[in-house]
């Protein structure tokens, strides 16, 4: 971490100091070398946090403890002001101030796509995940997903099988893996040149709202996101909405006739996004109408080729 990043990381451990305050402080000249007394004059919230005796020393100790835990795991901590912080993520309006990373930083490049979907995919959903992932991973794209059951795990495994890189975005600290049955998969992701990434500090355990927050980071790291399969209230829609909000591309595989005939609930969102009206799509994705122009329906392997060209030409930022 740069001196500025480290000072921000220290300050982040003060009680009552959140991302908004940290973003404002990041633009302050000489923050990295400011004394505690100087810090009191930089921001009202910071001044209140520093009123408590020993507050800054305690914050420094907590920051050092996080760094020690990262070192023990061969992990590292990045701040959004660091030059190595993923540019695509930095360009989002709600990017985390810090990212805890275990694995290869090189795997967080800009040639990356998110592959996400239901935890209970149909047989064809698994096949689609594997085929699409193998195509893109085999052509040098990093596959980003969330290490969840179903489509996420299938995407990570298919990327590894194709000799590609994959990044798992976690909704908790790096001290654990959720679900626990994917602990070995997490180790394999790192061993094969990929990475585990989270905005949550060591010691933060999984919680439902954190998975929703995590989904925006999946989208933020990518040029485009593939929603393999989802019900109308599926959790994967959070990342899909974030992708459109960030101006990224969203791809939706068209459901097979077998899944349509079986009235599979896990394809309802895909069916609507492929063939529904604009009004239905807007209601589902909670986006503005212009964002609908960034949705692509994938019906065959040829569509993978076309979408890849679009992704390569897509300028972000």
* 108 pLDDT more than 80: no
* pTM of the model as a whole: 0.94
- List strand residue ranges (DSSP E) for the chain, in order: 75-79, 98-103, 112-116, 142-145, 166-169, 195-198, 224-227, 249-253, 295-298
Compute how many other C-beta atoms are within 10 angstroms of the C-beta atom of residue 247. Answer: 15
117 vs 234: CA distance, rounded Å:
8
Residue 79's φ and ψ, nearest 5 degrees, are -105, 155
Tens of pLDDT along 154-209? 999 999 999 999 999 999 999 999 999 999 999 999 999 999 999 999 999 999 99
Domain range list for the chain: 3-72, 105-313
Cβ atoms of residues 281 and 268 within 8 Å: no
What is the arithmetic mean of pLDDT over 232-242?
95
Which of left, alpha, beta for 111 (phi over 0: left; psi -120 to 50: alpha)? beta
**pLDDT of 109 over the 80 cut:** no
Share of the chain above pLDDT 90, in %: 81
**Mean pLDDT, to the nearest integer, of 281-296?**
96
pLDDT at position 107 over 70: no
Identify the pLDDT of residue 235: 93
What span, in angstroms and rounded, lies between the C-alpha atoms of 219 and 86? 12
Q: DSSP letters of 139-163?
A: TTPEEEE---TTHHHHHHHHHHHTT
Q: What is the pLDDT of residue 96?
A: 95
The pLDDT of residue 304? 96
Q: What was the pLDDT predicted at 316?
A: 80
Looking at domain 105-313, its CATH architecture is: 3-Layer(aba) Sandwich (3.40)
pLDDT for position 37: 86
The Cα 141–Cα 111 span in angstroms is: 5
| Mean pLDDT, the chain, integer | 94
Q: What is the pLDDT of residue 201?
A: 97
Sign of CA dihedral 23, 171, 6, 47: positive
Can you give the pLDDT at residue 62? 97
């Amino acid at each position: 971490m740069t001196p500025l990043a480290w000072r921000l990381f220290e300050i982040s451990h003060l009680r009552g100091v959140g991302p908004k305050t940290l973003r404002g402080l990041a633009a302050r000249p000489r923050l990295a070398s400011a004394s505690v007394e100087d810090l009191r004059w930089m921001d009202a919230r910071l001044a209140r946090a520093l009123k408590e005796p020993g507050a800054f020393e305690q914050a420094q100790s907590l920051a050092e403890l996080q760094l020690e835990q990262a070192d023990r795991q061969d992990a590292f901590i990045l701040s959004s002001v660091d030059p190595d912080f993923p540019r695509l993520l930095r360009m989002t309006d709600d990017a985390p101030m810090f990212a805890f990373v275990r694995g290869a930083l090189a795997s967080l490049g800009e040639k990356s796509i998110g592959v996400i979907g239901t935890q209970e995919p149909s047989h064809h959903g698994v096949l689609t995940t594997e085929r699409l992932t193998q195509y893109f991973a085999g052509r040098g794209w990093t596959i980003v997903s969330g290490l969840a059951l179903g489509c996420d795990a299938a995407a990570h495994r298919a990327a590894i099988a194709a000799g590609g890189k994959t990044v798992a975005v976690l909704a908790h600290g790096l001290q654990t893996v959720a679900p626990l049955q994917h602990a070995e998969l997490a180790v394999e992701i790192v061993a094969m040149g990929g990475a585990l990434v989270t905005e949550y500090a060591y010691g933060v355990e999984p919680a439902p709202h954190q998975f929703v927050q995590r989904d925006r980071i999946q989208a933020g790291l990518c040029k485009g996101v593939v929603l393999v399969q989802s019900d109308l209230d599926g959790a994967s829609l959070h990342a899909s909405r974030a992708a459109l909000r960030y101006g990224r591309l969203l791809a939706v595989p068209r459901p097979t006739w077998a899944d349509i005939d079986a009235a599979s609930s896990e394809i309802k969102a895909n069916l609507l996004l492929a063939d529904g009206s604009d009004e239905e799509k807007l209601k589902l994705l909670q986006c503005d109408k212009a964002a609908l122009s960034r949705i692509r329906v994938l019906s065959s392997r040829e569509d993978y080729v076309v979408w890849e060209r679009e992704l390569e030409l897509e300028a972000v930022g």
